[in-house]
A and B are shown apart, each in its own frame.
Chain A
């Protein structure tokens, strides 16, 4: 590496480097079942991704939609696709 930063442990093994890519956690947001929710205060970084996790077990007798979303500026808008068949969804927003 000709420039940047490298972090080593006491054994000399590289632990982190500015040639890496990583994702910083910007926020965790929960949208409850069957509810559309707008979350605000999402920090802004040059690149962001939103991961969704369907919480708890899928049941055989519901359709288990996860919320759809849009992220614009500091607002994460989550939308229930179905009024009664949408599961609780955790959104984790990462940035880099």
Chain B
């Protein structure tokens, strides 16, 4: 730099460089509403009572893991750059829920931020948001502090607006599959999150409950369990045949927690879930191939899901329509999730 202000520390880290924009405190925000993705649940029953020993249990959401909840925030920062939103979680420690930002979307002069928490709690997460000064409309009457400008005369740092102060950070990798091992047996599904949390460390701090973190959710996983049975024979002097096929699935989003004063953890929460089935019986003849072969994510289920979505099932959560089964028993975007740690007390 030919002129200006450059502040570095004894590690050689740049703290203030007047040539570059710094993020400043925009405000502390509470959510405006809470929502969950509605379940996709339904099926087709036809003549199931005529099917002899035809199974009729667990046609709803029995045994499915609980969903997390989604907090909706509206952050008033008008500009092209999304705000950096740090989460102040509802609690910290090895039993705390996992929380992560799952939506960042510009909406008029605001940015809509959605925060997903893996379990439902009475307390709510709070956002501490930061933005470049050019997008901060806060005012102040104080005349104390330090202010820097770039070569064009644009303010790049102004201590009156509480510049972002980080106390730690790094990269974290989310687990692969959210559920490991058996996904179910017979008509009983088992898709709860049981993956081991991935942990990474940061510079130790004095109080975990004072920490806030920035780490948008990138990873997601989708897993399913399918089961089908059929039978035919003679019962009570009448021939019968039945067939039933089911698909259960969960869509998981990655989320995070402050596990200790020096440990940051990643895992998943159940973001959306569904269960659909087809069940048919007949009392006169066998019907081999009636539904078998069209099960488990095939065209038939896609059609049922499309019908459910078209009826407005997803509207309450305001999400795009879709079948919520974008892939089977796999995961995406698990690596290289950068995170930054700061302290709420700097801004309270």
B316 → A minimal CB distance (Å): 14
For window 70-89 of A, CB contacts with B under 8 Å fall at: 85
Tell me if B104 is interfacial: C-beta within 8 Å of chain A. yes
Across the interface, B21 reaches (CB within 8 A) one of A25, A46, A90, namely: A25
Q: Is the CB of B145 within 8 A of A15?
A: yes
- What sequence of 0s and 1s flags, for each residue 34-55 of chain A, a beta carbon within 8 Å of any chain B beta carbon? 0000000001011101111111
B81 → A minimal CB distance (Å): 5
For window 78-137 of B, CB contacts with A under 8 Å fall at: 80-82, 84, 102-105, 132
Closest to B319 in A: A57
Chain A contacts for B13, CB-based, 8 A: 21, 46-47, 96
- What sequence of 0s and 1s flags, for each residue 1-30 of chain B, a beta carbon within 8 Å of any chain A beta carbon? 000000111001111110111110000000
Closest to A20 in B: B165
Chain A contacts for B164, CB-based, 8 A: 22-23
Closest to B106 in A: A55
Chain A contacts for B322, CB-based, 8 A: 59-62
**Given known A43-B20, A60-B326, contact A21–B319 (CB-CB < 8 A):** no
Number of A residues near B (Cβ < 8 Å) is 48
Interface-lining segment among B43-51, B180-188, B214-222? B214-222
Closest to A68 in B: B336
Across the interface, B333 reaches (CB within 8 A) one of A7, A57, A66, namely: A66
Q: Is the CB of B319 within 8 A of A23?
A: no
**Given known A22-B163, A24-B21, contact A60–B14 (CB-CB < 8 A):** no
Closest to A43 in B: B20
Tell me if B325 is interfacial: C-beta within 8 Å of chain A. yes
Chain A contacts for B12, CB-based, 8 A: 46
Tell me if B142 is interfacial: C-beta within 8 Å of chain A. yes
**Given known A7-B145, A51-B216, A61-B322, contact A22–B166 (CB-CB < 8 A):** yes
**Given known A10-B144, A24-B17, A57-B319, contact A62–B22 (CB-CB < 8 A):** no
Chain B contacts for A18, CB-based, 8 A: 7-9, 15
A41 → B minimal CB distance (Å): 13
A72 → B minimal CB distance (Å): 15
Closest to A67 in B: B333
Give the size range of B's interface with the partner.
35 or more
Question: How far is B336's CA from A68's CA once the two chains are assembled, in angstroms?
Answer: 9
Across the interface, B15 reaches (CB within 8 A) one of A15, A22, A49, A51, namely: A22
Chain A contacts for B325, CB-based, 8 A: 60-61
Across the interface, A96 reaches (CB within 8 A) one of B14, B145, B146, B217, namely: B14
A15, A45, A60, A94, most chain B CB atoms within 10 A = A60
Across the interface, B146 reaches (CB within 8 A) one of A7, A47, A49, A69, namely: A7
Chain B contacts for A22, CB-based, 8 A: 15, 22, 163-166
Across the interface, B159 reaches (CB within 8 A) one of A15, A52, A59, namely: A15
Interface, chain A (partner B; CB < 8 A): 4-5, 7-10, 15-16, 18-26, 28, 43, 45-47, 49-66, 68-69, 85, 90, 92, 94-96
Interface, chain B (partner A; CB < 8 A): 7-9, 12-17, 19-23, 80-82, 84, 102-105, 132, 142-146, 159-160, 162-169, 171, 214, 216-218, 220, 251, 253, 272, 314, 319-327, 332-333, 336-338, 340
Can you list 5 pairs linking A and B with CB atoms under 8 Å apart? A4-B9, A5-B7, A15-B160, A51-B338, A92-B84
Q: When A and B form their complex, which 6 residue pairs have the shortest distance between CB atoms, in order from nearest?
A: A60-B322, A60-B324, A61-B322, A10-B144, A59-B320, A7-B159
Known: A23-B340, A52-B338. 11 other contacts (CB 8 A): A24-B22, A28-B81, A43-B20, A46-B13, A53-B104, A56-B104, A57-B105, A64-B333, A65-B333, A92-B81, A95-B20
